[in-house]
Structure 1
Amino acid sequence: MKSITKLLTVVSIIAVSSSAGLTQPPNTLSPAERREGWQLLFDGATTHGWRGAYATQFPARGWVVKDGELRGELHEGAESGDAGDIVTVKKYRHFEFAFDWKLGPGGNSGVKYFIEERQPKPEKGSQAGYEYQLIDDANYIYNGKKLPADLKTASIYDVVAAQKPDVSVGTWHRSRIVVNKNRIEHWLDGVKVLDVDRASDAFRRGVTESKFSTYPDFDKIPEGHILLQDHGHSVAFRNLKIKTLP
């Protein structure tokens, strides 16, 4: 009888967990992810693997680890004008990068890749790179107007627009960037919202018509750091995971 009771208790716990939609703890890798070659870029407790852009150390203020989140507690409203951007210590060429993020109302941030840290360091603003835009699509005002499509969330900022409705803020979203040779994909909440080839006329036209038109070989950057942007608005990240591709 005791064995039957114990078995029923275990079954009940599994059922409750399933109905509640519980998943693995944040900032961890499942056995399947480990087998597939995924690595954590944030362990939920330290800033190991990150440093300030154009710096050797992690910023002393502004970026903090709280409650298993890597938070940018930023308030100045300027691009790289508060604590500054942070970048991965390592560089990446072909990869799949997954991350969860959350912004508040009117928020603006971004995840950049192919960051080269070219000299000289920009006098103001962030280092140029491909940016997975993170922003309050519906409410952010840009130069007195509503945002154009190529400046909205999940777009390659100012180059290629993501195909999606406006996203909500104040809640967690899950994103993914896939760079497989010249093919780039952006995913948002399980849906592929951008798919482009860097060698295509569409991508090159987007670069030519963007603010990156004078950046040498912007469409051919071979590798670089991943950057979390200080745009002067608070932002939170968790579940930062990467898998290198052949």
Structure 2
Amino acid sequence: MKVFPSPRRRLTGHTLALACVLSLALNAAEPGFESIFDGSTLKGWHVSAKTGHSRASGNTSGGAWAVRDGAITGTQDIPGNGGIILTDQEFGDFEVALEMNNDYGPDSGLFLRSTEDGKAWQAMIDYHANGNLMGIYGEGLGGKPSVRNFSFLEKVTEIVPIPAPTPLPVLPSAWPSFWRHGQWNELRARIVGNPPSITTWINGVKMMEWKETELRHPERGRIALQVHGGGDHTREWVRYRHIRVKSIAPDNALTPVERREGWQLLFDGKSHAGWMNSDRSAPRTPVQEGSLNPHRAGHYMLVHTQAWSNFTLSLDFKLSQGCNSGIFIRTSSLTPRPGKDIGFNGIEIALDDTPGAGFHDTGALYDLVKPARNAMKPSGEWNHVEITAAGSSISVNLNGERVTQADLAQFKTAHRRPDGSPHKFDVAYRDHSGSGFIGLQDHGAPCWFKNIKIKPLPSPIP
């Protein structure tokens, strides 16, 4: 078993509070997600009394579950008796997100690929003293894995870090502003493959990433919410709302939801169909294990043959050690201007095997806007990025985190950022072309791109 190390530094209260606000504000617009709770009934859900937490009732009741004020609520129906409520539908590879506002006391959990008797990969919601949020636990799987990077103390506002291969990204002093007890907070989990890779987030900040190496559980199962143990069952409840799921398709394919939402696949995983070098020649490098590699393909970058204006671009990328690459958008012309490379015709989202968060590091609008933080995984691992271009607004989400937000309308002068500091481009970006080619840069080292998808967006209203 392996826990991925995190290259990120711990974040401060101000930054984390901003992450919370962005997370809740953006969740409704996330592409590919479907609601699995209608906010008023338990349609699509059922209670199971087959878990070990239901023994106090002789396994005849799985706890008290109901819908109240637009949320699924649960508590023990008698002391010591709980259970799980599961989706009727089974899922394989997926990401699930929800909002939680539990009382401090009851034990709970978010079960991934659950069976009727509660065997599952669990994202912990042990919301009580000595408990944890979004650690990963093998429920009914021999207690393995059991990984977490903090524990609550007696008060919900106090936590203590636990040494773990995945460091806690939240300073204990920042916890009270990051985690808003008595309010709604967002929890999220993603599970892919079998043995699975599991990632969890709290309020948009990644908490844990785990790679299982043993095949110990089925590749499909239900999403479940748990309640058991702890708290006063007469007045302390767990509460969940805005529950939504995104099925994750096989590589280089669209899910049914993505098709309905208007996503298009730009790379078929098998050929260079729809792609060319930036000098319009055919790429020289073959498709490599379902991915495009622009290195030594024959020119400055691989470009998609169609020009795009307003869109969300979604793709996975992997960098070799020391690699420097980039994703170009709105490349207005494939003819370089005198004395300039073709990159001066577009806008580059930097991809760089570096740990920093500067103007040239991963997630930056190259030499224009720094990312808020470096959320990239180490070289050799796949990353997921979503880039949205809507009029003058450009945003970058990296591995589930909003790292960059820019308004090109503020770039009114060539060679100058809005704060007056210099950049290298002889362009006032408020006047930059709002349309152009998408490109994947070759800058001297191998890099790989797959699952390249785009959703065209309407032009923003001026």
TM range (shorter): 0.7 to 0.9
Secondary structure at 1:151 match in 2 = coil
CA contact (8 A) 1:154 1:186 kept: yes
Q: 1:92 to 1:23 in 2, by over 3 A?
A: closer
**Deviation at 1:150?**
0.7
Residues 387 and 397, structure 2, Cα contact 8 Å, conserved in 1: yes
Letter in 1 for 2:453: K
Which residue pairs with 1:219 in the alignment? Answer: 430
Residues 25 and 160 of structure 1, relative CA distance in 2, 3 Å threshold: same
Q: Taking structure 1 as reference, are residues 120 and 107 closer, same or farther at Cα in structure 2, changes over 3 Å only?
A: closer
1:232 has 2:448 as partner: no
> Take 2:278 and 2:302, find their aligned partners in 1: how far apart are those partners?
5
TM normalised by structure 1 equals 0.78
Q: Which has the higher strand share?
A: 2
- Give the alignment's TM-score, normalised by structure 2: 0.43
Query: Which has the larger share of helix?
Result: 1
Identify if the C-alpha distance between structure 1 residues 163 and 18 changes in structure 2 by more than 3 Å, giving closer, same or farther: farther
Instruction: Give 3-state SS (helix, strand or coil) of 1:150's partner.
Output: coil
Kept in 2: contact 1:126–1:229 (CA 8 A): no
- Output aligned runs, 1:65-80, within 5 Å: 65-74=287-296
Are 2:287 and 2:293, in contact at CA under 8 Å, matched by a contact in 1? yes
- Cα distance per residue 1:38-57 (max 9 Å; x no partner): 000101001111111132x3
Provide, for residues 88-119 of structure 1, a one-character-per-residue CA deviation record: whole Å limited to 9, x for no partner.
11111100000100001111110001101264
- Contact (CA 8 Å) 1:174, 1:190: kept in 2 or not? yes
CA RMSD between the two structures:
2.7
Give the match for residue 153 of structure 1: 362
Q: Is the 8 A contact 2:316 2:383 kept in 1?
A: yes
1:55-74 equivalence runs, <5 A? 55=280, 57-59=281-283, 61=284, 63-74=285-296
Structure 1 residue identity aligned to 2:402 = K
Distance in 2, Cα, partners of 1:46 & 1:121: 31
Partner of 1:135: 352
Question: Please, which moves more after superposition, 122-131 or 147-156?
Answer: 122-131
Letter aligned with residue 206 of structure 1: R
Counterpart for residue 408 of structure 2: 198
Sequence identity (%) = 32
Measured after TM superposition, the shift of residue 166 of structure 1 is 5.9
- 2:379 maps to 1:169: yes
Asked whether the 8 Å contact 1:137–1:166 carries over to 2, the reply is no
User: Which residue of 307, 311, 335 maps to 1:95?
Assistant: 311
Aligned to 2:256: 31
1:140-182 deviation line (CA, Å, top 9, x unaligned): xxxxxxx670110010000000111363211000001001111
Q: Secondary structure at the residue paired with 2:452?
A: strand
Aligned residue type for 2:348: E
Moved over 6 A (4+): none
Q: Aligned partner of 2:354: which letter?
A: D
* 1:85 is the counterpart of 2:287: no
Highest CA radius of gyration, 1 or 2? 2
Tell me the residue number matched to 2:328. 112
Question: Structure 1 stretches of 5 or more lacking a match?
Answer: 1-10, 75-79, 139-146
SS in 2 for 1:88: strand
